[in-house]
Amino acid sequence: MMIALLFVMIFLAINSFTMDGAKEGLAFYLLPSVDRLLDPAHNGIIGVLTAAMNQAFFTLSLGIGSMAIFGSFIGKDRALLGESVRVTAIDTFVAVTAGLIIFPACFTYDVPVAAGPSLIFEALPLVFHNMWGGRVFGSLFFLFMSFAALSTLFAVFQNILSCTQELFGWSKRRAALVDGLAMCVLILPCIFGFGIWSDLVSLGGLTSVLDLEDYLVSNILLPSGALTFVLFCSHRFGWGYDKFMEEANTGKGLKVTKWMRPYMAYVLPIIVGVILVLGIVTPFI
């Protein structure tokens, strides 16, 4: 399914190069802008770097355990480092290709580039409407995207499900029922945030319930979870680097080596810690 989605995205990217606004869209997307990078309205370069790193944590499902759940289903014939490189490469390819598709469409059909995640539902339907075979490619794209989204949702829910089963000793059926009901309740603030609670949050750069939830997850939970993982795997008070290396190197592929330990044990925690602190304070600067 993922391979089919990648082929559709490549075709759409090639089609975007033929649009009237391709030159402007690609220039906006690919050419660096020092003025925007240093814009005080977005907290300058610190705000840009923090947002970029938090997005990396989010898109790779690091810090909250989703990637750990995916890793637990990998067979012993594959080393974890090699699989991590593949996941990162595919994720980066999809993100870059999505930009190649969307931004030329924005400049061609006058869609605001600052619309955020809704761009995929504003720009892409215009692309499909104006291209040959658009109905077929559009249907396939959103079908494949739905499967990709559902697979991520299942991984996140499996993380919650596994924790509940281990903490309370429940069966999978009981845990799924209780967790499902709890999630139905916990998503209500986000839903109400677009309606009756739309004016509830006004704090720094956070102007809605969804902004607040995104801030808590992207700026706090994901970096702090990643920091906990790296400290646990690289120090004696946790799992320990030797045990981590033994587990990670099981199977074929790229291997974790001993010379990586100083970086993982000391340099990487400092980097993630700085990102965590900046992520907490940046929206309120």
Dump pLDDT digits (tens) for 47-95.
Answer: 788 888 888 888 877 767 777 777 777 778 888 888 888 888 888 898 8
pTM for the full predicted model: 0.78
Q: How many angstroms separate the Cα of 165 from the Cα of each of 6, 179, 280?
A: 36, 10, 32
pLDDT of residue 103 exceeding 80, the answer is: yes
Q: Dihedrals φ, ψ of 122, to 5°?
A: -105, -45
Distances (CA, A) of 125 to 65, 131, 208: 34, 10, 27
Tokens of 116: 């955020």
Of 116, 141, 1, the residue nearest 55 (C-alpha): 116
Contacts of 94 (CB under 8 A, 6+ apart): 5, 6, 9
For residues 29-50, b (16+ Cβ closer than 10 Å) or e, as one string? Answer: beeeeeeeeeeeeebeeebbbb
Domain ranges of the chain: 1-26+44-164, 198-285
Residue 218 has pLDDT above 70, yes or no: yes
Distance in angstroms (rounded) separating the CA atoms of residues 245 and 21: 50
Tell me, what's the pLDDT at 1?
Answer: 61
Q: What is the per-residue pLDDT across 142-197, written as a single tens digit (0 to 9) for each?
A: 887 787 778 777 777 888 888 899 899 999 999 999 999 998 998 888 888 878 88
